[in-house]
């Protein structure tokens, strides 16, 4: 069942949590609401669920307006950040709660409820824990039970509020994979809230980036990462290296650093954004860029060596970060304190007053155009 | 020697003096008077004690006291739960003020409370004179006693529930509603089991105070023997009649209730402190 969000606004006292948000959630897809705390993502999820009312706007499920429908009647599954399991009920009783809450005419007989609970326990791979109480479970197990409980009444929409937020890294990864597999099997329309970019990009079919109560960008994960449409999305999705300077005669300069930008007209202040994988390290400057940097630290753990660098003779508010393959690292042997030069392959130029970047590719200069 | 004791205040003489002081105060102020009550009540023998307790007026006082408690406790159970629910689950203007107002009966002397009720609901009071036209008399009869007792004991249940419900939050209840449960089912199946022991604790305290209340009740009761005399008032009346043994016999009943209350309170506290692990419900899935 698709979800349509039309012009939703919500204020809490003087704070605007959601500012005229409109959004389409496609049927059968796993959508991530991604944003920093205070961006309104949880409020939006709670409004979709009906746990919170909106000041303005409509929510439609599959074309039907449900804005005035009580939570109880929306038939959604909701997974809470802190699980919200019923402490005094067993795992099985927790899972059966939704089925037993159905009106008498729709309620399945006791034997069928028991069967359904057993099936769900199999699905969450915890068949032996039926008679345990929530306090006797680990965090990961609790979250699985919360999921089974939410799915027991076969809702067509599943909403998850920071589902893995309270779990440690290892369990989180397992559970993420498991949720993805589950989703691929059952194909309900799901929305989950997260502030973890990696989680959003890895798990979802579509990412909605939010900030200050507004939708910044909606896209598939790969496209979102490759083509951020605003400074905010750029900053929020992974690390970014920035050269901030003056643009003059197709050259961006700050202190000892400069980058030539063929085909870019106009004299003004500008910022060039580069992802760690869009920049390489060299012993000497290249023809199109001179970006001297001193190595601050080298991190060897991971599939790539991650090198942090401090600008030399120019400024950057944050350290630069550049990746290097282990093979190359063994050859080049960069060490802490060395002076190296960054050579960009691709950059994204923000000129003052514009929120949309234009992409510059030095290998294929002809394709250097702004994105539509 | 000094090197062995690292913890603050862990010198043996400090410990001995403090523990000794606490123990002697407890014995002098609490234990001895309690023992004396029973000693005095039984000083003239068991038969005198029973005849004192089974005296017509004493029996009536016991009955009235229990009757007042029986009305007060359910009233304050509902009132306290509703109050705790509204201040912890809803946001509304004046919420903070309401949380503060709950404590008024604790802050104000019961005698003052009794006088206020007398001024308001007495024959010449604002409300009382109006009610008088319909021949309804609240003061100097049992409704007045119930009213002031409700007032004096109103904070106990709410005071127990509010911190607990604040700490538990409303996520479990929200989960219940999302799963399609009706408001009543959410309350019965989710809220009530979570607040059960705090509620019982509040009821025990309410009951103890309702049975023992003297000040407010003495103002509005009129002390009519066999009609509006509660057990605490009866103790005073007997004492003023120079019936010392009788006064102590009645007092020993109150003390007995107090001891039962303490035992119940200790049990509930022990249950509350245990990690949540109730026996499985019978007939559960």
Rounded CA-CA distance B30/B162 in Å is 31
Contacts of B189 in chain A (CB under 8 A): 86, 97
Tell me which residue has tokens 């509902």: B78
For residue A344, list its beta bridge partners: A279
In the 8-state DSSP scheme, what is residue B2? G
Q: What is the pLDDT of residues B166-191, one digit of tens each?
A: 998 889 999 999 999 999 999 999 99
Contacts of B171 in chain A (CB under 8 A): 80, 82, 84
From the CA atom positions of chain A, what is the Rg in Å?
A: 25
For residues B32 and B62, state if they share a domain: no
Tell me which residue has tokens 């503060």: B100
Instruction: Tell me phi and psi for residue A324, to 5 degrees.
Output: -150, 140
Q: Does residue B284 fall inside a structural domain?
A: no
Identify which of A92, A98, A135 has the shortest CB distance to residue B277: A135
Element (H, E) at A309: strand A305-311
Q: What is the pLDDT of residues B48-95, one digit of tens each?
A: 999 988 999 999 999 999 999 999 999 999 999 999 999 998 888 889
Q: What is the pLDDT of residues B218-248, one digit of tens each?
A: 999 888 888 889 999 999 999 999 988 899 9
Q: Does residue B163 fall inside a structural domain?
A: yes
> Taking the CB of residue B59, how many other CB atoms lie within 10 A of it?
12
State yes or no: pLDDT of B9 exceeds 70.
Answer: no
For residues B110 and B78, state if they share a domain: yes
Asked whether the beta carbons of residue B175 and residue A131 sit closer than 8 angstroms, the reply is no
Letter string b/e over residues A78-117, b meaning 16 or more CB atoms within 10 A of that residue's CB: bbbbbbbbbbbbbbbbbbbbbbbbeeeeeeeeeeebbebb
Contacts of B179 in chain A (CB under 8 A): 97-98, 101, 149-150, 152-153
Q: What is the pLDDT of residues B108-134, one digit of tens each?
A: 999 999 999 999 998 888 888 888 888
Chain A contacts in chain B segment 189-228 (CB below 8 A): 189-190, 193-194
pLDDT score for B5 = 54
Identify which of A71, A72, A133 has the shortest CB distance to residue B277: A133
| pLDDT confidence band for B282 (50 / 70 / 90) | very low
For residues B25 and B129, state if they share a domain: no
For residues B178 and B151, state if they share a domain: yes
For residues B256 and B165, state if they share a domain: yes
Question: Closest chain A residue to B183 measured between Cα atoms?
Answer: A72
Tell me which residue has tokens 């009609």: B227
Mean pLDDT for all residues in chain B: 88
CATH of the domain at B80: 1.10.3720.10
Q: What end-to-end distance do the CA atoms of chain A give, in Å?
A: 31
Encoding tokens for residue A212? Answer: 């200050």
For residues B28 and B152, state if they share a domain: no
For residues B130 and B171, state if they share a domain: yes
pLDDT in tens, chain A (372 residues): 899 999 999 999 889 999 999 999 999 999 999 999 989 999 999 999 999 999 999 999 998 999 999 999 999 999 998 999 999 999 999 999 999 999 989 899 999 999 999 999 998 889 999 999 999 999 899 999 999 999 998 898 999 999 888 788 888 888 888 888 888 888 889 999 999 888 999 899 999 999 999 999 999 999 998 888 888 998 888 889 999 999 988 889 999 999 998 877 778 889 999 999 899 999 999 889 999 999 999 999 888 899 999 999 999 988 999 988 999 899 988 989 999 999 999 999 988 777 788 888 887 755 444 443
Q: Does residue B283 fall inside a structural domain?
A: no
Instruction: Tell me phi and psi for residue A352, to 5 degrees.
Output: -60, 140
Contacts of B182 in chain A (CB under 8 A): 72, 101
Q: Does residue B104 fall inside a structural domain?
A: yes
For residues B98 and B17, state if they share a domain: no
Rounded CA-CA distance A190/A204 in Å is 9
Q: Where are the beta strands (DSSP E) in chain B?
A: none
Which domains, ranges and CATH numbers included, belong to chain A? 3-227 (3.40.50.300), 239-367 (2.40.50.140)
Of all residues in chain B, the percent with pLDDT exceeding 70 is 93
Rounded CA-CA distance A135/A141 in Å is 11
Torsion over CA of A289, A293, A295 and A296, rounded to 10 degrees?
-130
DSSP count for chain B of H helices, then E strands = 16, 0
pLDDT score for A312 = 92
Q: Chain A contact for B93, CB < 8 A?
A: no
Chain B contacts in chain A segment 71-110 (CB below 8 A): 71-73, 75-78, 80, 82, 84-88, 90, 92-93, 96-98, 101-102, 110
pLDDT score for B285 = 40
pLDDT score for A368 = 43
Q: Does residue B261 fall inside a structural domain?
A: yes
Tell me how close the Cα of B81 comes to any Cα of chain A, in angstroms: 20
- Write out the residue range of the structural domain in which residue B37 sits: 10-41
Asked whether the beta carbons of residue B177 and residue A72 sit closer than 8 angstroms, the reply is yes
8 A C-beta contact, residue A39 and residue A193? no
Tell me how close the Cα of B172 comes to any Cα of chain A, in angstroms: 5
pLDDT score for A165 = 81
Question: Closest chain B residue to A135 measured between Cα atoms?
Answer: B276
Question: Closest chain B residue to A48 measured between Cα atoms?
Answer: B178
In the 8-state DSSP scheme, what is residue A303? S
Instruction: Tell me phi and psi for residue A21, to 5 degrees.
Output: -90, 130
From the CA atom positions of chain B, what is the Rg in Å?
A: 24
Rounded CA-CA distance B41/B47 in Å is 11
For residues B93 and B172, state if they share a domain: yes
Angle value at C-alpha B115, between B112 and B119, nearest 5 degrees? 140
Question: Closest chain A residue to B281 measured between Cα atoms?
Answer: A89
Element (H, E) at A12: strand A3-12
Encoding tokens for residue A76? Answer: 């959604």
Q: Does residue B114 fall inside a structural domain?
A: yes
State yes or no: pLDDT of B276 exceeds 80.
Answer: no
For residues B17 and B133, state if they share a domain: no
Instruction: Compute the average pLDDT of residues B88-104.
Output: 89
- What's the per-residue H, E or C state across A243-289? EEEEEECCEEEECCEEEECCCCCCCEEEEEEECHHHEEEECCCCCCE
Instruction: Compute the average pLDDT of residues B153-169.
Output: 93
For residues B67 and B118, state if they share a domain: yes
Asked whether the beta carbons of residue A86 and residue B189 sit closer than 8 angstroms, the reply is yes
SS3 (DSSP) at B8: coil
Q: Does residue B108 fall inside a structural domain?
A: yes
CA–centroid distance for B147 within its chain: 14
Encoding tokens for residue B224? Answer: 């009519």
For residues B91 and B136, state if they share a domain: yes
pLDDT score for A169 = 82
8 A C-beta contact, residue B230 and residue B254? no
Rounded CA-CA distance B140/A68 in Å is 53
Q: What is the pTM of this model?
A: 0.79
Overall domain count for chain B: 2
Instruction: Compute the average pLDDT of residues B14-24.
Output: 93
Q: Does residue B234 fall inside a structural domain?
A: yes
Rounded CA-CA distance A128/A118 in Å is 10
Number of A:B CB contacts under 8 A? 82
State yes or no: pLDDT of B281 exceeds 60.
Answer: no
How many residues would you count in chain A? 372
């Amino acid at each position: 069942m698709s979800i349509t969000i039309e012009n939703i606004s919500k204020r809490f006292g003087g704070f605007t949590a959601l500012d005229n948000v409109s959004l389409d959630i496609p049927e059968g897809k796993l959508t991530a609401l991604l944003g920093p705390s205070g961006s309104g993502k949880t409020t939006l999820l709670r409004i979709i669920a009906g746990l919170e009312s909106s000041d303005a706007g409509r929510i439609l499920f599959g074309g039907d307006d449900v804005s005035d429908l009580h939570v109880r009647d929306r038939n959604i599954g909701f997974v809470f950040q802190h699980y919200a399991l019923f402490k005094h009920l067993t795992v099985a009783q927790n899972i059966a709660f939704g089925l037993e809450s159905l009106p008498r005419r729709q309620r399945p007989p006791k034997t069928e409820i028991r069967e359904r609970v057993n099936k769900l326990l199999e699905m969450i791979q915890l068949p032996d824990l039926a008679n345990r109480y929530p306090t006797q479970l680990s965090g990961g197990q609790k979250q699985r039970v919360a999921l089974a409980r939410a799915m027991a009444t076969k809702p067509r929409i599943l909403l998850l509020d920071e589902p893995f937020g309270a779990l440690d890294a290892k369990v989180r990864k397992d559970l993420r994979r498991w949720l993805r597999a589950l989703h691929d099997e059952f194909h309900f329309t799901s929305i989950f809230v997260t502030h973890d970019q990696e989680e959003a990009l890895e798990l979802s079919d579509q990412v909605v980036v939010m900030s200050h109560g507004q939708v910044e960008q909606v896209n598939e994960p790969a496209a979102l990462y490759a083509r951020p449409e605003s400074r905010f999305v750029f900053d929020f999705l992974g690390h970014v290296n920035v050269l901030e300077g003056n643009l003059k005669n197709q050259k961006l300069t700050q202190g000892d650093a400069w980058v030539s930008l063929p085909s870019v007209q106009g004299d003004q202040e500008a910022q060039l954004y580069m992802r760690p994988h869009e920049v390489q390290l060299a012993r000497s400057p290249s023809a199109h860029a001179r970006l001297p940097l001193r190595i601050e630290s080298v991190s060897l753990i991971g599939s790539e060596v991650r090198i942090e660098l401090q600008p030399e003779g120019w400024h950057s508010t944050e350290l630069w970060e550049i990746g290097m393959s282990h093979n190359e690292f063994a050859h080049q042997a960069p060490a802490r304190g060395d002076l190296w030069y960054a050579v960009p392959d691709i950059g994204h130029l923000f000129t003052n007053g514009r929120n949309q970047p234009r992409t510059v590719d030095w290998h294929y200069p002809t394709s250097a155009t702004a994105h539509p | 020697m000094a090197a062995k004791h690292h913890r603050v205040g862990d010198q043996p003489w400090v410990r001995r003096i403090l523990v000794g002081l606490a123990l002697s105060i407890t014995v002098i102020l609490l234990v001895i008077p309690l023992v004396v009550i029973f000693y005095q009540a039984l000083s003239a023998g068991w038969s005198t004690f029973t005849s004192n307790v089974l005296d017509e007026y004493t029996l009536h006082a016991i009955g009235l006291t229990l009757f007042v408690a029986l009305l007060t406790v359910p009233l304050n159970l509902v009132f306290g739960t509703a109050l705790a629910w509204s201040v912890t689950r809803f946001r509304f203007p004046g919420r903070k003020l309401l949380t503060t107002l709950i404590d008024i009966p604790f802050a104000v002397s019961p005698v003052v409370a009794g006088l206020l009720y007398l001024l308001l609901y007495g024959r010449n009071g604002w409300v009382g004179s109006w009610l008088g036209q319909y021949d309804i008399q609240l003061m100097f009869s049992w409704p007045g006693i119930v009213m002031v007792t409700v007032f004096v004991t109103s904070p106990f249940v709410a005071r127990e529930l509010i911190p607990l419900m604040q700490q538990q939050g409303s996520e479990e209840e929200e989960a219940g509603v999302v799963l399609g449960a009706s408001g009543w089912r959410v309350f019965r199946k989710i809220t009530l089991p979570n607040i059960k022991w705090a509620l019982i604790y509040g009821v025990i305290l309410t009951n103890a105070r309702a049975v023992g209340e003297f000040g407010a009740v003495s103002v509005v009761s009129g002390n009519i023997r066999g009609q509006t005399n509660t057990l605490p008032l009866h103790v005073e009346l007997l004492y003023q009649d120079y019936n010392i043994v009788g006064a102590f016999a009645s007092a020993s009943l109150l003390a007995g209730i107090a001891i039962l209350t303490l035992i119940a309170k200790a049990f509930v506290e022990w249950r509350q402190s245990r990690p949540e692990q109730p026996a499985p419900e019978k007939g559960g899935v």
